[in-house]
Structure 1
Amino acid sequence: MLTKGDDFPLHQSAEPIAFAGTDRNFYDRYFFNGYSPDGSVFFAAAMGFYPQLGIVDAAFCVLVDGVQHNLRASRRSAGERLDLAVGPIAITIDAPLEVVTLRITPNDGPLAAVLTFTGRHFPIEEPRFTRRNGTRLFMDYTRMTQNGHWSGWLAVDGARVPIDNDWAGTRDRSWGIRPVGAAEPQPPPQGNFHQFFWLWTPCNFADRSLFFHSNDDGEGTPWNRRAVLVGANGGERHYADPGFAAEWQPGMRRLTRLTADFDASTRLALTPSGPLFAMSGLGYTHPVWGHGFDHGELEVAHDSLPEAERAWGNPLAMHVQALVHAELTDGDRSERGVGVLEQLFVGPHAPTGLTGLMDPVA
C-alpha cells in the first residue's frame, strides 16, 4: 500500500510508510495546550493516528467562563499518514520543529479557531517510556515536548478572542505503543494495569522553559522520571533523579501544591491557580470517544462539561490538567512563571499515602 509519505525519505524499514510494525497498538500523536496571560481561557487540542486500526481522530477543547467545550472528530484513514485533517480539525506543519498551525473551521458546534504555535526552543526528547504488564508490552513510546507562544484567534459561540504572543503553551509529539482502540479480547492472566501514577509539568518562565515528569510504581519507585531546564540560548540541563513532595486536597486525589527538588540548589514549586481541564475532552479514558475507536467514515460530535461535572468523583474528570503558578529557585536566582500540572493517579502510591484503586487521600 503506497501513500503520500512514501515520496519522502522517512522509511524506517523495508515496508511502505503505511505499515507501522506489527503491534496493533501503534500510534502517532499530536498534543497542544495554550492559555491566556490571566488564565481566564484555556484550550487544548490533539490528533492521533492509529495505522494498524485504520483510524485517525482529533479533538479541540476550550475552557472559558467555567465551561469546557469539546469538539471531537474521527474518520477512517485508509493508511494515509500525511492527511492532517479530521472533519473540521486540521494541522499544518509550517516549519518542522518550529511552527505549527491549528485550524478549526466553523461547524455545527460553538468552536472555531486559527492558532499558530511558535516554539521557544528546540524540542526536548523525553526518556523512552517502556513498561510491561507481565510478559506483555503495555507501553513503548518516545515523546518530544516544546514550549512556545500562540497567535491568531479562537471563537466560542461566535465571540472571537484575539490571541497574541503573550499567550503561552506547550505542544508534544509522541509515537510508539500505547493501549488504543477497543479493549483486547484476552487480557493478561494477571489482568490489565490497575496502578498508574503520572505527573507532567511543562512551565514557561520569562526566558527559560522547564519540564518535569514522573511515572512511579505503587511503591513510589520511578520507572520514568526526568527534569529539564532549557535556557534562552537553547542549552539544556537534565536532572535524572529529582525528588518531589505532594500536598493533597482533602478527600480526593487532586493536588494543592507540588514541590520538586532537582538538585541541592534547584527547586520548583507549583500551585494550581484556576479551573481544571478534563483530559477526557481529548479522548483520554473517554468511554465513547477514546483514542482509536471506530466511528465510521467520518463522525463529528460536540459536548460540554460545566464546572460541576469536572468535580472529583466523575470518571470523566479523573485525568486533569491544572493551570499553575510556578516558582523556580535556581541557586541565587528566583523567578515566577506559569504552567500546567497534569495529574492521573490510579491505584496505590506508598510515598504519598494513596491506597486502593481510587481511594481518596486519608
Structure 2
Amino acid sequence: MLTAQDDLIGHQLPTTFDHVMSSDPAWMERLWYTGHPKDGSLIFDIGLGYHPNRNVMDAFAGVTIDGTQYNFRASRHLRPNPLETTVGPLKIEVLDGLRRHRLQLAPNESGLAFDIEFLGTMNAHEEEPHFRRRNGRVTEHMARGQQLGAYRGWLEVDGQRHAIESQDWLGQRDHSWGIRAEMRTDESHPPLTFYPPFFYAWTTVQFAGRGLHVFFKERAPGEFIYLSGEEVLSLGQKPQRGRRMAGVNHEIEWADDPHGQTVRAGKFEVKLDDGSTRVLHIRTLPARYFLKGGLYGGLNGWFHGDDKGKLHIEHERWDLDAPEIRKLARTLCDHVIEVRDGNEVGYGIMEYGVGAGYAKYPQVQQHPPI
C-alpha cells in the first residue's frame, strides 16, 4: 500500500515501502534505546519492532529504580498505518537522522510516562554483518547500527518526575533490520532455543570525545564466532578505519548472586586494527534492566512479532529481590557500568551471559545464560 514514505527517494524494490525483500516471517526491523544517569541509579529501556510479514508492530518501555523494574508492553496490527512508529501511547520519532530522536509515552496505567530526546554525540558504529545458516536455511541475515549519545527531557515513575539533563544522562541506541535469529527462553511455552557452550558480551562506553563499542561471542576462550567493535569519535569527525576492533581478551569477576549471573567487575583488553590496545577496567553500577520485560526471549507465551489483535497493552512491576522474579527474568539485561581507561572515566552498559560447558567462569553456569 502507498504511504507518505513512498514520496521519498530511496526505494530498493519495485514495490511500496511497506514490503521487504523476503517473505520470511522472521524479517523485522527494531529500534532500541537505553539511558541512565552517570551514577547508575536508574536505567530506562525502550524499543519498537516492525514485523511487515506478520502485520504487527510491537513496543516496550521499562525502568529499573530502587530494586523495582517497571514494564510496559504494547502491540498493534501494522496496517493500515504500516510506517507510523506509534503503538498505543508509545511513540518514537526520528527528528534528524543520526542526531535527534524523540521518545514519548503518554500517561497510562503502568505508572510510566516520559518525553525524552536522544541526542547523538558520537559517530554511529556499523556492526559487522550478521549471517547464519542452519540445516541449509538462512536463520539470520541482519544489519545493525549503534550510536552513543545523551538524553534530555523528563521521565515519570509512579508520579515522581525525574528531570533528564544532557550533561548527566548518557545512553546508546541501535537500529537493526533483516531476518533475525529466533530466541526462545520462555519456559512456560516450549520449544526453547538450544544454546551450545558460549560466552558473549555486548558493551558500550563513552568518554569525553570518544566512545567504544565491543561485541563478541565465543564458543571457547579465544574461539570467536562473532566479533564487531570500534572506537568512535565525536559526531562529524572523520571515522578512522584503523580503530575497528580486531580482538579482545577478558577477565570477569562475578558477584556472589544465588539467583543468577551478575557481573561485579571486569577487564577487557581491546585490540584495534591499527595495532593499539585499549585496557578497560569495568565496574557495574546498581541499575540494570532485564530484557525479558521487553519480550526478549518471550514472556508468558508472548514473543516478538506475535499477533495480539488490533491493540493490546499490558504492564507489571517486578521486585528484583524476589527469587521467583529473578528466575523469570533470567540473565539477559542492560547493566550500567563505569569504565576506566588510564586516567579517563566513562559510562555505558554491558550485556553478558555464559552458557553451560564454556571453558571459563564455571561458577555461574548453573544459571541460565540468556
| Offset from partner CA, 1:85-136 (integer Å, 9 cap, x none) | 0001001111011100001011122011000000012211010111233322
Q: Percent identity?
A: 28
298, 318, 331: which is aligned to 2:311?
298
* Match in the other structure for 1:10: 10
Cα distance in 1 between the residues matched to 2:219 and 2:61: 31
Q: TM-score, normalised by structure 2?
A: 0.86
| Offset from partner CA, 1:280-327 (integer Å, 9 cap, x none) | 122111323421111110011110111224789513232112111101
Residue 49 of structure 1 and its aligned partner are, at CA, apart by 0.5
1:47–1:57 Cα contact (<8 Å) kept = yes
- Return 218-227 or 334-343, whichever deviates more: 218-227
Matched residue pairs, number? 349
| Offset from partner CA, 1:29-69 (integer Å, 9 cap, x none) | 00000002322221110000011111110011111121111
* Match in the other structure for 1:285: 297
1:52–1:359 Cα change, 3 Å: closer
Cα distance in 2 between the residues matched to 1:267 and 1:219: 18
Residue 12 of structure 1 and its aligned partner are, at CA, apart by 1.7
Show structure 2 runs of 5+ residues with no match: 186-191
219, 235, 239: which is aligned to 1:235?
239
Q: TM-score, normalised by structure 1?
A: 0.88
SS at structure 1 position matched to 2:293: helix
311, 330, 334: which is aligned to 1:321?
334
- The residue type equivalent to 2:351 in the other structure is E
What are the residue-to-residue correspondences of 1:130-209 with 2, within 5 Å? 130-165=131-166, 166-179=168-181, 192-195=193-196, 197-209=199-211
1:170–1:207 Cα change, 3 Å: same
* Match in the other structure for 1:213: 215
SS at structure 1 position matched to 2:103: strand
Cα distance in 2 between the residues matched to 1:54 and 1:356: 38
Cα distance in 2 between the residues matched to 1:45 and 1:253: 23
SS at structure 2 position matched to 1:318: coil
Show structure 1 runs of 5+ residues with no match: 184-190
- The residue type equivalent to 1:302 in the other structure is H
- The residue type equivalent to 2:209 in the other structure is D
* Match in the other structure for 2:123: 122
Cα distance in 2 between the residues matched to 1:311 and 1:210: 35
* Match in the other structure for 1:258: 266
1:181–1:257 Cα change, 3 Å: closer
* Match in the other structure for 2:254: 248
1:314–1:16 Cα change, 3 Å: same
Cα distance in 1 between the residues matched to 2:76 and 2:86: 9
Residue 206 of structure 1 and its aligned partner are, at CA, apart by 2.0
The yes-or-no answer on 1:349 pairing with 2:358 is yes
1:197–1:328 Cα change, 3 Å: same
SS at structure 1 position matched to 2:38: coil
Q: RMSD of aligned C-alpha atoms?
A: 2.6
